[in-house]
Structure 1
């Protein structure tokens, strides 16, 4: 029997801190006789966890007929699969739905349920079955049948919980809640959902506030909820869109809470997982700019106790112009999740259902490194093993190849060794790495309501399109990208949290704004400035709430008027002339100005102003990061607020550091370009790695430890190559190195161990107990051996 805890952004099992490194393996798509071999192959890649969906549709193939032990088909034997995972010493994340998606017919909910109980299926505004056939989450019939499914599946899972001496470490509740409604622009108008909405309205509004907000009599509230909601009128459409989105967050939360309570009643006492959706495809490209829509939908769900929020990360072939999508996904997820939980991706791109685009091995390497650099302490590759859809459960037919690291027959695809290398590095440095956290220079403000744009109607479409266009162009593809490509590292804060923004913790804040911002957020920003914060507000000052009614609290505090707004103009920003600007607000002030329309210094578009104890940097400029000269503009804007990168490089590379006072530092370098780059590295003014130039091959990365313990009384002060394996025998420690440079240089410190001269290795004791080791070889790998520094140093 073991206990499991979530603390300080780590998973802790029986006091042992664990970096979760797993792979999705669907037992129901793999011949039973191959299960053990596939589990072993995942383990061989350095993984410590197997994840699997448990599809309701596959196990309860007829209503009331459920097979979880393989009596009707061997591949239904969940019990044996969990036993094999346990036998191989692996953890397991189980995901029993009720929804699993996973390219399964009806997304994992039994077809018999949808066909036999149409009253429990989601409805469109005209009363038709929802185009995705998604159920109505709160319908009592659906919850009743889900309860019966949970009774059966939890009975199999419970003995295998880690807390019962088994393998199951996490239990996922449903999957991608709200996704079907967003992608179709079709909320659920089932009567049960609308009744719940009416209860929401009566709880949150009295007669006066209801009538002031929606401009209809309070006596019509039932008709409003059940009928007017389906086809809004212009007079209340904006207020309704906003309120219905707020309601749905609570609706989704109640559904997940119901599932959690049901599982707990059946003995499930491990932490729970909720999956966030949102990456999207554009032909052969994938982006994450809409991922925060999923975060917004599940904002209230994130507050459920003992529940980990986990992202679905599908970036396609990551590149220079898309990698910041991952950075923002990490920052925004962390901003809303339970503060003790690790940043975790339960579906981390391990392939793709389609063979287009063809995913390159480098993308798995770069994406994983980038996320670990940003603080991720849990990665589950989806998929890891290909398979076959039995009994016609596949949405795309019989084949389920998924460009997975392991083919259907168990062959290893080219990205398998890439993942394996990272897995082995994590095994080597797990203990030290888990003590470190990313070092950040500044913060972004994450405003979830700006992503509550999953629905619109004819009256609200313009507003939704406006918000979506500006947040993608001026924030995600604009300032957020410009900051990161200049290695100004940021985290994010959820500005909708109840807490004030503390300038002692958030000394500077970059806040994207549209003309809409609710009163409470405007007041929070005013208070932040009053208390001494540095606020970079861009590209406009809000003047309305998200219900589209006037609200000028922030504008009045700043005490400035906008004369006009211009589009596609040229400006002068500090010393940068002829800057192409997509949109610019022109202010009735010249005090503190540092940008204006080109050749028109009286047409000010950016200024700074002391307000309270703080400082406002009003950057009334909207532009995406489309030209390299914009780098200097954003770097100089950051400097105005006392923000600058801690790194000095000669090449354009992504570089971050995870740091711990006790366990040292891990420097992460990513080269997203298709040519090798070579640079020296300085951090906070100190030259690193002995001043040696470091080369990073095209489309690859490095994880370089500095002052990190490798073993008791054996430290690496620095190294230019990657150590990915450590083996100790009684009187010898052997390190395996992946060769990157023509000559690798390492410095080790120990009073108990000394490196051994071998072919291709030269050793110099640069000071007492400190050894410089140079390695020259044409091989891809090399080994450094250590033996006791003196007789009897190591006890047998």
Structure 2
């Protein structure tokens, strides 16, 4: 039995962490399957994932090969069974879309040829440049149902609850992504008929006429007006089309789930993966959340999974991962945990140019951060490379192969197409084994948060489709894009994390905002904001909330109509925007409690007329206010309206003035350290630290001002991460009071650690009989056993502590000796 409860994945009553690796069985010789599975197990994984490509299994209509009749490597049931024989769970990803660099994104050619009506048209009636499909086209759904009948016939008897190993099924892949990346929404006749019905259900007849001043009942004219929108209704259309597409995607997902359950695949999690990373960053990732959150929150039984495609986790990108995990959690139902179903690993050499070489710390750091934030399933994509075989039918497309990447595929993976391990494999294996050694603890832990959350507005990312000829659409979208991330991520979020704040996110669009639950809210804010959200923020401050805004105070609704609800509550009104130019070096000075501070160069400053508010930032030379603190009701708001520097003391003071103080701190004199903590109900904790820089750092760690780890100074090595236990009860009856080394294995009579210091200390309780050895010094003090390592971590970081089990006051060793006499 598999349950999704309390943000946990529970299998047969036991909360579990699933560490998965993607192995494309169809890209490997069958004789290589066991070798790749062995390497996956040696890396510490407990599950295998794979796409199941329709284009391979039914290349010719009606000729379905799921048993390897023509190609041995297509025996999908045999592959799943082999994983089961190796004690591994299986995560099935049957499409119908799979992407994975496959031709047609994994859809058979004959589907397009037989049903040309499923191929979408887009703006101005033009062709969509990608091989996407009208998801709800009846003929496509009919063919998809047949595919699901075939493949679910293989999966159903292998479900975990039937004695097999299949624990989850993904429905489709990256839904809506192909249209987003090309700004080409699906606007077929069938879709526009459905869109019109949706409009009628959501607006009164007269209201609809005002929104769309053209003949809506004349189908041909209506379709032309939507595909080539006029300025007078362009802003309305972008919002309505985005909300409709969310609704449409959720219906598509529901249809696929119905097919799965019709053919017996039920009572397991159905997974929807979220696309959106671009250019090595996650600034656009919430577009995928915005498109799909209604799909995976519509009913119980769904999991959302991130697609994490950025390389090194460093000072540029570390806040990206932290924020998108928070945003995913913000829109989740109460029981839904975080997962990552495409967790990019390997060396980054995707173009065989060696221009992108990821540091070995890349996958290590991302795993650590994701696990700390509550990810319960991580799927390494790709774990191993393979080959793209030639199809039997000639395609005359340059290579006739199943994919467009050439013969070798996944050559950047930790395991090469030929089965060789690359330099990223050892570090990936090390961190995976570390997580799995204490997976029973991590599976139930939650990240601890300070009294501040980062605000998320899904509609700020509903920008995946806009008509290029519309100036109004372009103006709104450009302003949203500038403010929703940019300084809000690069300055405010980064400053919060470097200052030690541990925070989640809250969906202020769809969920209540209560200052008793969220005392302080940090929010990137644009010129445009829904009136309901403006009112919610106003009420939040009035009722005692602390609001930190970065960007602009909104003065329009999302359709460009004047709306100043929030500005009016704060007693401010926008005055204008100052920008630097070739011969104007815009500079901002601090005022009020923010002074004295050095003057800061800025490229943009939004200025405000204020009444009762206190200025904290002003434009040099004009004294125009571009940052202020305003009281309203029982609460307070602080606005930073200039492109300011990542001034950690400034953001710390602002958050503390609003009521949020960071509880976890270090005393290293410089930045470049990420830290957070996770806890269970027994009071056990892990402290998670990442050194984002390439040099060692020494520090003390404090919780609420109290030094941790016996006041010992910790060494945080170059590009290394730590997960240090405190008050952790282990399954062998031993309690670790604290340890400066990481747990890597626990058995009844043995504990293994990865040393991290010049001289590691492990403090134990629970009357453990530690076996003396030349590697350790043992001291008993105040009911505790203090074990000090005699090894230097940089010379030898492996330490084994053996424990003798007591029986009636005697150790097993002593009892055996007594019996022999």
Q: TM-score range by the shorter chain?
A: over 0.9
Consecutive unaligned residues of structure 1, counting only runs of 5 or more, are: none
Question: Could you tell me the TM-score, scaled by structure 2's length?
Answer: 0.92
Deviations 1:706-745 (A, max 9, x none): 01012343011111111201233xxxx2222222212111
Distance in 2, matches of 1:211 and 1:272, equals 40
Q: Find the counterpart in structure 1 of residue 458 from structure 2.
A: 448
- Once the two structures are TM-superposed, the CA of residue 171 in structure 1 deviates from its matched residue by 0.4
Is 1:723 aligned with 2:743? Answer: yes
Deviations 1:361-392 (A, max 9, x none): 21111111122122222211000111111221
Distance in 2, matches of 1:218 and 1:721, equals 71
Contact 2:270 2:302 in 1 (8 A): yes
Distance in 2, matches of 1:62 and 1:223, equals 36
Q: Find the counterpart in structure 2 of residue 316 from structure 1.
A: 311
Is 1:744 aligned with 2:742? Answer: no
Q: Find the counterpart in structure 2 of residue 297 from structure 1.
A: 291
Is 1:566 aligned with 2:581? Answer: no
Distance in 2, matches of 1:225 and 1:794, equals 85
- Once the two structures are TM-superposed, the CA of residue 790 in structure 1 deviates from its matched residue by 6.4
Contact 1:296 1:452 in 2 (8 A): yes
Q: Determine which of 756, 779, 794 is the counterpart of 1:764.
A: 779
Distance in 2, matches of 1:533 and 1:465, equals 30
Secondary structure class of the residue paired with 2:529: coil
Is 1:137 aligned with 2:130? Answer: no
Q: Find the counterpart in structure 2 of residue 552 from structure 1.
A: 564
Deviations 1:446-477 (A, max 9, x none): 00111111122222123212211222322121
- Once the two structures are TM-superposed, the CA of residue 409 in structure 1 deviates from its matched residue by 2.8
Cα gap change, 1:333 to 1:624, in 2 (>3 Å): farther
Secondary structure class of the residue paired with 1:193: helix
User: Following superposition of structure 1 onto structure 2, how do residues 375-386 of structure 1 map, counting pairs within 5 Å?
Assistant: 375-386=374-385
- Once the two structures are TM-superposed, the CA of residue 617 in structure 1 deviates from its matched residue by 2.1
Contact 1:539 1:584 in 2 (8 A): no
Is 1:668 aligned with 2:691? Answer: no
Q: Find the counterpart in structure 2 of residue 265 from structure 1.
A: 262
Contact 2:15 2:440 in 1 (8 A): yes
Contact 2:791 2:797 in 1 (8 A): no
Deviates more, 1:415-424 or 1:692-701: 415-424
Deviates more, 1:89-98 or 1:450-459: 450-459
Coordinate RMSD, CA, aligned: 1.9
Deviates more, 1:551-560 or 1:434-443: 551-560
Cα gap change, 1:663 to 1:159, in 2 (>3 Å): farther
Q: Find the counterpart in structure 2 of residue 588 from structure 1.
A: 609
Q: Determine which of 414, 417, 432 is the counterpart of 1:408.
A: 417
Secondary structure class of the residue paired with 1:503: coil
- Once the two structures are TM-superposed, the CA of residue 769 in structure 1 deviates from its matched residue by 4.1
Deviates more, 1:564-573 or 1:639-648: 564-573
Contact 2:496 2:652 in 1 (8 A): yes
Contact 1:278 1:292 in 2 (8 A): yes
Q: Find the counterpart in structure 2 of residue 395 from structure 1.
A: 404
- Once the two structures are TM-superposed, the CA of residue 335 in structure 1 deviates from its matched residue by 0.9
Deviations 1:153-178 (A, max 9, x none): 00000000112111110000000011
Deviations 1:108-154 (A, max 9, x none): 01112123321111213344442112111111110000010000000
Contact 2:388 2:402 in 1 (8 A): yes
Is 1:256 aligned with 2:250? Answer: no
Q: Find the counterpart in structure 1 of residue 371 from structure 2.
A: 372
- Once the two structures are TM-superposed, the CA of residue 412 in structure 1 deviates from its matched residue by 2.1
- Once the two structures are TM-superposed, the CA of residue 340 in structure 1 deviates from its matched residue by 0.9
Contact 1:473 1:623 in 2 (8 A): no
Contact 1:590 1:604 in 2 (8 A): no
Secondary structure class of the residue paired with 2:174: coil
Deviations 1:542-583 (A, max 9, x none): 111111112222222223222333233322151223023333
Contact 1:432 1:709 in 2 (8 A): no
Consecutive unaligned residues of structure 2, counting only runs of 5 or more, are: 391-400, 580-585, 816-821
Cα gap change, 1:631 to 1:580, in 2 (>3 Å): farther
Contact 1:176 1:277 in 2 (8 A): yes
User: Following superposition of structure 1 onto structure 2, how do residues 280-679 of structure 1 map, counting pairs within 5 Å?
Assistant: 280-281=278-279, 286-305=280-299, 306-351=301-346, 352=348, 353-355=350-352, 356-391=355-390, 392-441=401-450, 442-457=452-467, 458-459=469-470, 460-497=473-510, 499-567=511-579, 568-573=586-591, 574-575=594-595, 576-589=597-610, 591-597=612-618, 603-623=624-644, 625=646, 630-651=647-668, 652=671, 653-679=673-699
- Once the two structures are TM-superposed, the CA of residue 252 in structure 1 deviates from its matched residue by 0.9
Deviates more, 1:237-246 or 1:36-45: 36-45
Contact 1:512 1:537 in 2 (8 A): yes
Contact 1:207 1:218 in 2 (8 A): no
Q: Determine which of 73, 76, 82 is the counterpart of 2:74.
A: 76
Distance in 1, matches of 2:781 and 2:309, equals 47
Contact 2:388 2:408 in 1 (8 A): yes
Distance in 2, matches of 1:252 and 1:221, equals 26
Distance in 2, matches of 1:398 and 1:97, equals 23
Distance in 2, matches of 1:461 and 1:563, equals 23
Contact 1:354 1:402 in 2 (8 A): no
- Once the two structures are TM-superposed, the CA of residue 482 in structure 1 deviates from its matched residue by 1.6
Secondary structure class of the residue paired with 1:47: coil
Q: Find the counterpart in structure 2 of residue 227 from structure 1.
A: 224
Distance in 2, matches of 1:794 and 1:354, equals 60
Question: Could you tell me the TM-score, scaled by structure 1's length?
Answer: 0.95
Contact 1:95 1:174 in 2 (8 A): yes
Distance in 2, matches of 1:125 and 1:563, equals 37
Deviates more, 1:113-122 or 1:582-591: 582-591
Contact 1:584 1:605 in 2 (8 A): yes
Q: Find the counterpart in structure 2 of residue 779 from structure 1.
A: 796
Distance in 1, matches of 2:810 and 2:129, equals 71
Cα gap change, 1:746 to 1:456, in 2 (>3 Å): same
| Matched positions, count | 779
Distance in 2, matches of 1:219 and 1:427, equals 58
Q: Find the counterpart in structure 1 of residue 398 from structure 2.
A: none
- Once the two structures are TM-superposed, the CA of residue 260 in structure 1 deviates from its matched residue by 0.7
Cα gap change, 1:592 to 1:465, in 2 (>3 Å): closer
Contact 2:587 2:620 in 1 (8 A): no
Deviates more, 1:457-466 or 1:177-186: 457-466
Is 1:788 aligned with 2:805? Answer: yes
Q: Find the counterpart in structure 1 of residue 394 from structure 2.
A: none
Deviations 1:271-297 (A, max 9, x none): 10000001112xxxx111110111111
